[in-house]
């Protein structure tokens, strides 16, 4: 205790424009208060769109769509995708598709990109976080295990770094929380910037 006073960081309440349980869990883990409002948008890629452009556009669209319903509140939009050999690997369609994706990731480095957008007082701030992840070589039994036990169908790249996939991840370069689904440090910097203006 310094001279009887304490400095407290005040995290402003957010509206999370996402139904992702991982993003909700990350916000809860740092004590960030939020409401959830899930946008209904078209998430298809545009012709010629880069992976970085894709995730930032979706994050911005999600945040701005929900901000229309929450005037005066800070709205967070985010979108995460996996990229290997410059190809976007989204969420698998079924278990066979999940196994196909995991075979692509086996023994290779890939990138996890998350676009983050904050709408506050009618202004939108958009950015991106990039993390590299290396999977060990996996045999067919291990791929089947990961597809069947790892609940892959709602996850970009068909895996969750904090669950069964951790058995096969050899290295991470960059922000771990980005791979989980929300680069919380980038979000904090964004919110700090928008609320200090």
CATH classification of the domain holding 117: 3.90.950.10
Kindly give the parts of the chain with pLDDT less than 50: 1-4
- Average pLDDT of the chain, as a whole number: 92
pLDDT of residue 197: 53
Q: Is 2 within a domain?
A: no
**pLDDT tens for each residue of 37-57:** 999 999 888 999 999 999 999
- What is the domain count for the chain? 1
- pTM reported for the whole predicted model: 0.90
Parallel, antiparallel, or unpaired for β 14-16 and 34-36? parallel
**DSSP character at residue 106:** T
Q: Is 70 within a domain?
A: yes
Active-site annotation, residues: 79
**69 backbone φψ class: left, alpha, beta (φ>0; ψ -120 to 50):** alpha
pLDDT of residue 1: 38
pLDDT of residue 151: 84
Q: 3-state class of 22 per DSSP? A: helix
Domain of residue 45 covers 14-195
């Amino acid at each position: 205790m310094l001279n009887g006073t304490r400095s407290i960081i005040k995290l402003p309440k957010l509206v999370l424009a996402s139904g992702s349980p991982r993003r909700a869990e990350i916000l809860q883990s740092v004590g960030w208060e939020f409401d959830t409002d899930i946008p209904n948008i078209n998430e298809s890629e545009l012709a010629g769109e880069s992976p970085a452009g894709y995730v930032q556009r979706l994050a911005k669209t999600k945040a701005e769509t929900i901000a229309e319903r929450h005037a005066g509140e800070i709205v967070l939009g985010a979108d995460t995708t996996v990229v290997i050999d410059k190809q976007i690997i989204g969420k698998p369609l079924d278990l066979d598709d999940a196994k196909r994706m995991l075979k692509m990731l086996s023994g290779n480095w890939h990138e996890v990109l998350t676009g983050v957008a904050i709408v506050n007082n009618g202004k939108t701030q958009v950015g991106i976080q990039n993390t590299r992840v290396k999977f060990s070589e996996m045999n067919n039994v291990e791929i089947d295990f990961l597809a069947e036990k790892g609940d892959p169908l709602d996850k970009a790249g068909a895996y969750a770094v904090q669950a069964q996939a951790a058995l096969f991840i050899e290295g991470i370069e960059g922000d771990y929380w980005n791979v989980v689904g929300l680069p919380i440090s980038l979000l904090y910097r964004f919110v700090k910037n928008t609320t200090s203006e």
